């Protein structure tokens, strides 16, 4: 049985699959849950390279993410005290937050991609290889 579980979700409808898996897993029942969302933003230098203006209001982006996460977790009886949001590189933030919160399990979704799509970046793969605790990757059904 796990005592302290970090559940990393995005703000898509796919996050429901991860949350459903958490609440159906017997080894997680009774654990302290913390829901975590990382908002990845383009770096300012990318705008010059790509020819786009990536000007955005960070507070507005985080506020929108906060509202989305809150609406996703409320049906599970979780509230604002049960989640946090940070901006930055998702896999690094997930691993760091798990360590800070002494998590003994990280749960996150995975599309199970292979080949070039995997090489382009997999948050689940990176977390799996860098986390100091157990990692449960929930297969997302497209």
> How do beta strands 4-8 and 32-39 pair?
parallel
How far apart are the C-alpha atoms of 106 and 128, rounded to whole Å?
9
> Of 123 and 19, which is predicted with more confidence?
19
Query: What pLDDT is attached to residue 120?
Result: 44
Q: What is the pTM of this model?
A: 0.85
Number of domains in the chain: 1
CATH code at position 74: 3.40.50.620
Query: What pLDDT is attached to residue 13?
Result: 87
58 within domain boundaries: no
60 within domain boundaries: no
Q: Provide the CB-side half-sphere exposure for 54 (13 A, CA).
A: 14
- The DSSP secondary-structure symbol of 140 reads P
Q: Is-contact 24 138, C-beta < 8 A?
A: no
Cβ-based neighbours of 86, under 8 Å, separated by 6 or more: 36, 37, 38, 39, 93, 97
Least confident of 27-31, 69-73, 97-101, 111-115: 111-115
97 within domain boundaries: yes
128 within domain boundaries: yes
Cβ-based neighbours of 24, under 8 Å, separated by 6 or more: none
Supply the range of the domain harboring residue 35: 4-39+65-139
Query: What pLDDT is attached to residue 65?
Result: 93
Percent of the chain's residues with pLDDT above 90 = 65
pLDDT digits (tens, 9 = 90+) for 93-108: 999 999 999 999 999 9
């Amino acid at each position: 049985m796990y005592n302290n579980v970090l559940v990393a979700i995005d703000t898509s409808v796919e996050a429901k699959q991860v949350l459903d898996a958490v609440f159906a897993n017997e080894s997680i029942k009774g654990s302290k849950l913390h829901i975590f969302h990382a908002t990845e933003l383009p770096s300012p230098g990318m705008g010059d390279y790509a020819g786009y203006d990536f000007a955005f209001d960070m507070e507005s982006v985080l506020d929108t993410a906060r509202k989305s996460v809150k609406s996703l977790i409320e049906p599970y009886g979780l509230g604002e005290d049960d989640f946090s949001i940070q901006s930055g590189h998702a896999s690094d933030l997930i691993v760091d937050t798990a360590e800070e919160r002494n998590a003994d399990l990280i749960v996150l979704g995975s599309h199970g991609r292979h080949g070039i799509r995997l090489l382009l970046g997999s948050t689940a793969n990176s977390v799996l290889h860098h986390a100091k605790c157990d990692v449960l990757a929930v297969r997302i059904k497209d």
